[in-house]
Amino acid sequence: MLVERAIKGRGAGWNRAGRFEREEREAVDDGWGGLEALMAAAAPVTEVLADTSRTIIARNDSPDIPFDRSINPYRGCEHGCIYCYARPSHNYLGFSSGLDFETRILVKHDAAELLREALARPNYRPAPLALGTNTDPYQPIERRLQVTRRILEVLAETRHPVSIVTKSASVLRDLDILAPMAREGLAQVAISITTLDPTLARQLEPRASAPHRRLMAMRELSAAGVPVGLSLAPVIPGLTDHELERIVEAAAGSGARDASWILLRLPHDVKALFERWLETHYPARRERVLSLLRQCREGRLNDPAFGSRMRGRGPIAELIRRRFERALERHNLQRRSLGLRSDLFVPPVEAEDQLELFASGLPLLTGV
């Protein structure tokens, strides 16, 4: 039996081998003090590694998401959300979806430079760029590394539209960039909220901002003129779905203009991680939560199919959809959309181009 433990500040309590690994090891209580030694072990610390990717903009043609390009400054996420569908992406690096995903963070230190190069290509055509679709762009190490901020500086300079999704109030640090962009229709932010219960939030999303701080971030973004929306994600049947109306009401009262929702997704070994998390924290609810989720996924715990992966199918999923739609109507919120301008884009000017302008005696254009 694999030993599971709750680690303060971490979502996963184990480090199962990735699905591409040839070997898998399990820690067991052998009756000789091994369990006590494991429980006494120090909590894992975050290890920052360099990501050497040579491209920065990821493209997609998925029919059920409203953007075709995105940037993720980090691979892995310190927030440690136990349900995160991005966890299995760490397997491609030879790491586990468990503790590795939230403690071994790869950083794209040169993201801003790579972005500048991509936007300067003659064949580049602007369209809203999504920031933080896989892992959070404002996870704790961003405070020190500021990779996301440097990306925003390039986007502001080139007047390129950007849509941000985050579970962190740290997005407020970049209001000096986002507010001027928003005035030109170039920026919007969605704050992701799963629950308003602070205890449940600490267990589900141990290093993300507390729910009241996310609502505070909504209010400040709205007050600064930045269009802000609610991403009610994920909705967990039998655990958080009873809060749906209260979350929408709280978001509307905090300045949200629109909202979207996503049903819990459990790809690959996230299923096992989430099942063990339920057994550790909410054993009495485990079977009901898994049963309701299977009813939304045609008997499975996950459905990767386009068209149903985000919303599910069947009576339970339909009931959640109707409740959400009625909540939007009650609070005069719109469905989330990327209503951003792409016609203001100005390709970045490289240093050698500036020198050529000076040499030619042509004036540099500013403020355009």
| pLDDT on residue 19 | 66
CA nearest neighbour of 13 among 287, 266, 273: 273
Phi, psi of 14 (to 5 degrees): -150, 175
How do the domains of the chain map onto residue ranges? 34-338
Mind listing the pLDDT tens digit for each residue in 56-100? 999 998 888 889 999 999 999 999 999 999 999 999 899 999 999
Q: What is the pTM of this model?
A: 0.88
Token digits of residue 117:
């190069």
CA nearest neighbour of 79 among 175, 194, 176: 194
* Angstrom distance (rounded) from CA 288 to CA 237: 9
| pLDDT on residue 230 | 98
| pLDDT on residue 35 | 53
Whether 273 contacts 12, CB under 8 Å: yes
Residue ranges, the chain, pLDDT below 70: 1-5, 14, 17-42, 351-368
Helix ranges (H only) for 11-139 are 34-40, 99-103, 111-120
Please say whether the structural domain 34-338 has been given the CATH code 3.80.30.30. yes
| pLDDT on residue 155 | 98
Peptide bond before 234: cis, by omega within 30 degrees of 0? yes
